[in-house]
Amino acid sequence: MQQHFRLPYYFGCFLLIIAGFLSCKQAPKVKLSEAPVIPCPIETIDGESIFSLKDHAFIGYLNEQDSLRSTCQYLSDFLSGPTGYELPVKAVDGSGGKGGIVIQMSTNASLGNEGYELNISPEEVTISATTTAGAFYGIQTLRQLFPALIESSEVQEGPWILATGKIRDFPEYSYRGAMLDVARHFFDVEQVKKYIDFLAGYKLNVLHLHLTDDQGWRIEIKSWPKLTEHGGQTEVGGGEGGFYTQDQYKEIVDYAQARHIMIIPEIDMPSHTNAALASYAELNCDGKARELYSGTDVGFSTLCTDKEITYQFIDDVIRELASMTPGPYIHIGGDESHVTPLEDYIPFIERVEKIVVAHKKIMIGWDEIAHAKLDPSTIAQFWARRDNAILAVEQGCKVIMSPANRAYMDMKYDSTTSLGLHWAAYIEVDSAYLWDPSRFVDEISRKNILGVEAPLWSETITNMDDIEYLVFPRLPGYADIAWSANKHKGWASYKVRLGKQAPRFEAMNINYYKSKLVPWVQ
Ligand code: TNX
């Protein structure tokens, strides 16, 4: 009898040793808690094993949760490229499914509107969230947990292994943005989409488009067609410029929306308006059209603040813009109005605010707008003057933090950087990261702050390579500031996480700045 039992026993031990050997070989090098995810998740609990994505895997959503279908499709499209697997999207029942990735709605209110839970077991991966936005952010985390070649546009060899464990995560700020200036140099729809994808990968949820400036008017306004026909035809340096038709703008809005990014359009006024003043003579106080401008000076132009036609013009522009912008905000600029006397500037801003509100939108303006009497729903974007931002807070307005000497992605890294400007500061990667929005201005505390935005002005940049060089690697740092709670902050640990992003940047062919301050992993 005893003999009879021993044989399977030895055989079982043998199998266990082989299995142990195989799983050792496959075990990921890092624990889940050591994965260099940016922005850093709030809470990670390690498991002890691995999940391996295989060619028969699928992406599932629970029966009757059809609203998650397109989110699943996004994940399937993303993973099927580099893995070469089909990864069909299908409805599954509550028991989930082995070997797949299942996305499901959760009722866990502690996750908030944008949080998610990611569970990785040896059998399956589940992402749970209370909204599709949360599920989307769970996907972005999952993306960074796979080997870097998951970012490749061509099929790569696996294995596609994840460490097991659990992540629970939600953002600190609800407004996490970047800006792109498409006025100084024009960037076309495909380039803007690529920029949107960069933001989405780091869980940013706002793209502010600086659509008009002295050098170009970039958005079709049907009631004032010469704005783009004439005013869109140049850019800094005298290039041919360009503009978005309303259909193209809607295409950008839809593309962003599918990635949970809100577009905030900016029409800068009363200054930064030379392109409009060149297109319509009647907008000038002297009734004479200006020449198109392709230099880089600021603050020399102004709409005529005491002509009625100016307000008819603004009403038409805001009406058309509001009707194709689903998000709640319209940005009216308001910066650097050096040739508009303050006694004209103040009533101008107050009247423009009423126009924006009449079109059922919330006004945002650069911090100078706080000189005017503002409605408390209006938002001021701090970029230069603390006293302006404080004035806004004193009026009950919320503030977006974009301090130029920390958050301007068009600033040079150091004196040797060939692209960019340096009027505000040189902003190395550590300086871009090492600031806390809620402590930056003594009088402005967490409760006054809507969120964080990193602007990219385009006087010196003309193509995607240039954009990438200034944006990477600073953008992930702004995302970390905006998303991750303070307990994770610290340059010493952040720079290590950032250095480990290098193989991802390489796989995406991103032209990033290889700062000497960062221990890049090759
Ligand atoms: C200041 S920031 C500006 C822009 C320039 C930028 C260049 C702001 C509200 N105005 O007009 O493009 O500096 O860094």
Query: Nearest CA to 52 among 156, 104, 125?
Result: 125
Residue 382 beta carbon below 6 angstroms from any ligand 1 atom: no
Catalytic, out of 336, 368, 468, 506: 336
Convert 117-178 into a string of H (helix), E (strand) and C (coil): EEEECCCCEEEEECCHHHHHHHHHHHHHHCCHHHHCCCCCCCCEEEEEEEEEECCCCCEEEE
Concatenating the DSSP letter of every residue in 342-397 gives HHHHHHHHHHHHHHHHHTT-EEEEEGGGGGS---TT-EEEESS-HHHHHHHHHTT-
- Specify whether the CB–CB gap between 301 and 337 falls below 8 A: no
The number of the ligand 1 atom at minimal distance from the alpha carbon of 213 is 11
The number of the ligand 1 atom at minimal distance from the alpha carbon of 381 is 9
Please tell me the class of the 26-169 domain: alpha beta
* Ligand 1, atom 11: closest residue by C-alpha: 298
Q: What is residue 282's predicted lDDT score, i.e. its pLDDT?
A: 98
Q: What is residue 1's predicted lDDT score, i.e. its pLDDT?
A: 41
- Specify whether the CB–CB gap between 427 and 408 falls below 8 A: yes
d(CA 245, CA 227): 12
Q: How far is CA 327 from CA 135, 289, 491, 502, 509, in A?
A: 20, 34, 34, 34, 32
Q: How far is the centre of ligand 1, averaged over its atoms, from the C-alpha of 277 (Å)?
A: 20
d(CA 130, CA 112): 7
pLDDT along the chain (522 residues), means of 10: 50 49 53 95 96 96 94 97 97 82 95 97 97 98 98 96 97 98 98 98 98 98 98 98 98 98 98 98 98 98 98 98 98 97 98 98 98 98 96 98 98 98 98 96 96 98 98 98 83 96 98 98 90
Query: Nearest CA to 276 among 334, 344, 342, 226?
Result: 226
Q: How far is the centre of ligand 1, averaged over its atoms, from the C-alpha of 457 (Å)?
A: 7
- Specify whether the CB–CB gap between 265 and 330 falls below 8 A: yes
The number of the ligand 1 atom at minimal distance from the alpha carbon of 455 is 2
Sort residue 360 into left (φ over 0), alpha (ψ -120 to 50) or beta. left
Q: What is residue 177's predicted lDDT score, i.e. its pLDDT?
A: 98
d(CA 332, CA 314): 10
Q: What is residue 489's predicted lDDT score, i.e. its pLDDT?
A: 73
Residue 74 beta carbon below 6 angstroms from any ligand 1 atom: no
Residue 366 beta carbon below 6 angstroms from any ligand 1 atom: yes
Q: How far is the centre of ligand 1, averaged over its atoms, from the C-alpha of 375 (Å)?
A: 25
Q: How far is the centre of ligand 1, averaged over its atoms, from the C-alpha of 349 (Å)?
A: 19
- Specify whether the CB–CB gap between 194 and 123 falls below 8 A: no
Tokens 């871009």 -> residue: 432
Q: What is residue 8's predicted lDDT score, i.e. its pLDDT?
A: 52
The number of the ligand 1 atom at minimal distance from the alpha carbon of 336 is 10
Q: What is residue 321's predicted lDDT score, i.e. its pLDDT?
A: 98
175-507 fold: TIM Barrel (3.20.20)
Tokens 């003043």 -> residue: 277
Residue 457 beta carbon below 6 angstroms from any ligand 1 atom: yes
Tokens 């935005």 -> residue: 453
Q: How far is the centre of ligand 1, averaged over its atoms, from the C-alpha of 474 (Å)?
A: 18
Residue 459 designated active-site? no
- Specify whether the CB–CB gap between 270 and 348 falls below 8 A: yes
Testing ligand 1's pocket by substitution, the residue of 336, 338, 388, 412 carrying the most ligand atoms inside 8 A of its CB is 336
* Ligand 1, atom 8: closest residue by C-alpha: 335
The number of the ligand 1 atom at minimal distance from the alpha carbon of 458 is 12
Residue 117 neighbours by CB distance under 10 Å: 21
Residue 313 beta carbon below 6 angstroms from any ligand 1 atom: no
The number of the ligand 1 atom at minimal distance from the alpha carbon of 296 is 12
- Specify whether the CB–CB gap between 327 and 490 falls below 8 A: no
* Ligand 1, atom 7: closest residue by C-alpha: 457
Q: What is residue 159's predicted lDDT score, i.e. its pLDDT?
A: 96
Q: How far is the centre of ligand 1, averaged over its atoms, from the C-alpha of 461 (Å)?
A: 14
- Specify whether the CB–CB gap between 295 and 236 falls below 8 A: yes
What are the boundaries of each domain within the chain?
26-169, 175-507
Testing ligand 1's pocket by substitution, the residue of 181, 236, 457, 460 carrying the most ligand atoms inside 8 A of its CB is 457
